[in-house]
Amino acid sequence: MSSRKVGIVGSGLIGRAWAMLFAAAGYRVQLYDILESQLSTALQELDKDLHSLEEKGSLRGQLRAAEQFALIEVTTKLEELTREALYIQECVPEVLQLKRSLYTQLDELLGEDTVVGSSTSTFMPSLYSEGLKRRQQMLVAHPLNPPYFIPLVEIVPAPWTSPQAVERTHSLMLSVGQRPVTLRREIQGFATNRIQYAILNEVWRLVASGILSVADVDRVLSQGLGLRYALLGSLETAHLNAPGGVADYFQRFGGEISAVSATYGATPDTQGDKVTLEDIARQCEELVPLEALEARRATRDEFLTKLAKLKKQF
Ligand code: NAD
């Protein structure tokens, strides 16, 4: 793998973020999209975003914004993208048929050393790579939005993904400053969404049963648990919360955890329960009106930058 070229398929929100991450680490980046107009917009946005990060002192890597931007080029030809690419990050919309047809095209063009990671949040890699000749080079590399500020990447192999493809992706992610975790086998929801959905289900139940308002249930995380979890995982949190560590924690509190867990009830029907959904939407929109979402996202990203810097000292 002597090439320093990384290809990105899809130049939307996530594709652009990956382009910035790879360019920050000095990789040559080629962005591919089916829409030429989307590629010109992507280049304009990347130029603007890189310079704005530089002005704020939040640009990643050792290179200046202009040098990073110079590493990014675009193409509308898939065969050009795959040529000499050491890695390809796929970022097309979350539509299984679209992904399948793209991977079928890629299958004909990939060199034997190129690994393809999908940004998909929901599709297990076996769903789009089954039956392809290069399927051992395909896996999921799932980022969290915004990837520039949140370092986690979930690497998820299909049953046929080669250990070398997993290892290379892991090393590549470390080389761009991300913090990968590798699942030993694919599972629906990967790890992040399984945990996230467990939280969402309980938050929904607490609001639906009238025990807490939306603002208060969110405060439980933003002013409570989330502060710890910004630094430590839930198991290390438990480890620190009992005199004898985690074994002592579960010895002391395991009975209570089981008793409370037995009262959770059925998984909420978040699509069918329109009454709760309307109530949650109304309360959320009182807190952040729809027209203020963009500004709120920008504030979130600004503070995530500061938090990321602080976390490096922890
Ligand atoms: P997006 O809609 O912003 O961008 C998709 C891009 O793909 C567009 O530029 C579109 O023109 C292009 N495209 C469509 N069909 C194509 C094709 N056949 N070949 C090449 N390009 C094509 O989408 P996004 O939010 O960037 O999401 C991309 C992927 O990242 C999805 O799989 C999504 O699940 C995943 N993801 C998204 C988020 C998020 O918060 N948005 C977070 C993590 C992962």
What end-to-end distance do the CA atoms of the chain give, in Å?
A: 34
Phi-psi sector, 311: left (phi>0), alpha (psi -120 to 50), beta = alpha
Atom of ligand 1 nearest to the CA of 101: 18
Residue nearest to atom 8 of ligand 1 (CA): 12
- pLDDT tens-digit readout, 212-255: 999 999 999 999 999 999 999 999 999 999 999 999 999 999 99
Mapped onto helix, strand or coil, the DSSP state of residue 188 is coil
- pLDDT tens-digit readout, 57-91: 989 999 999 999 999 999 999 999 999 999 999 99
What per-residue confidence (pLDDT) applies to 252? 98
ipTM: 0.99
Output the six-digit token pair for 122: 């929901």
Mean pLDDT of 94-120: 97
**In the predicted structure, residue 106 carries a pLDDT above the cut 80:** yes
Mean pLDDT of the chain: 96
131 CA to centre of ligand 1 in angstroms: 24
Nearest CA to 227 among 239, 219, 238?
Answer: 219
Atom of ligand 1 nearest to the CA of 14: 26
Residue nearest to atom 29 of ligand 1 (CA): 91
Percent of the chain with pLDDT over 90: 95
Identify the band that residue 2 occupies on the pLDDT scale cut at 50, 70 and 90: very low
Residue nearest to atom 12 of ligand 1 (CA): 10
Does the 5-182 domain belong in CATH 3.40.50.720? yes
**In the predicted structure, residue 39 carries a pLDDT above the cut 80:** yes
4 CA to centre of ligand 1 in angstroms: 23
Widest CA span of the chain, in angstroms? 61
**In the predicted structure, residue 1 carries a pLDDT above the cut 60:** no
Buried residues in 83-99 as b, exposed as e (16+ CB within 10 A): bbbbbbbbbbeeeeeeb
Identify the band that residue 3 occupies on the pLDDT scale cut at 50, 70 and 90: low
Mean pLDDT of 272-284: 97
Could you state, in order of their start, the residue ranges of all structural domains in the chain? Answer: 5-182, 192-311
266 CA to centre of ligand 1 in angstroms: 33
The model carries a pTM of 0.95
What per-residue confidence (pLDDT) applies to 144? 97
What per-residue confidence (pLDDT) applies to 262? 97
Q: Do domains 5-182 and 192-311 have the same CATH topology?
A: no
Fold of 192-311: N-(1-d-carboxylethyl)-l-norvaline Dehydrogenase; domain 2 (1.10.1040)
Percent of the chain with pLDDT over 70: 99
Atom of ligand 1 nearest to the CA of 92: 7
- pLDDT tens-digit readout, 137-167: 999 999 999 999 999 999 999 999 999 999 9
Identify the band that residue 308 occupies on the pLDDT scale cut at 50, 70 and 90: confident
Mean pLDDT of 179-189: 98
Ligand 1 residue neighbourhood (C-beta within 6 Å): 9-15, 32-35, 38, 91-94, 98, 102, 119-121, 143, 145
95 CA to centre of ligand 1 in angstroms: 9
From 11, 91, 155, the mutation candidate for ligand 1 (largest count of ligand atoms within 8 A of CB) is: 91
User: What is the C-alpha to C-alpha distance for residues 22 and 8, in angstroms, rounded to an integer?
Assistant: 10
User: What is the C-alpha to C-alpha distance for residues 254 and 238, in angstroms, rounded to an integer?
Assistant: 11
**Chain centroid offset of residue 28 CA:** 22
152 phi and psi angles, rounded to 5 deg: -65, 135
Residue nearest to atom 3 of ligand 1 (CA): 12
What per-residue confidence (pLDDT) applies to 74? 98
One-letter-per-residue 3-state SS of 51-63: HHHHHCCCCCCCC
Atom of ligand 1 nearest to the CA of 98: 18
Buried residues in 148-179 as b, exposed as e (16+ CB within 10 A): bbbbebbbbbbebbeeebbebbbebbeebebe
DSSP E strands, the chain: 5-9, 28-32, 72-75, 87-90, 115-118, 138-143, 152-157, 179-182
Mean pLDDT of 165-184: 98
22 CA to centre of ligand 1 in angstroms: 17
58 CA to centre of ligand 1 in angstroms: 25
What per-residue confidence (pLDDT) applies to 309? 84
From 20, 92, 94, the mutation candidate for ligand 1 (largest count of ligand atoms within 8 A of CB) is: 92
What per-residue confidence (pLDDT) applies to 230? 94
What per-residue confidence (pLDDT) applies to 145? 93
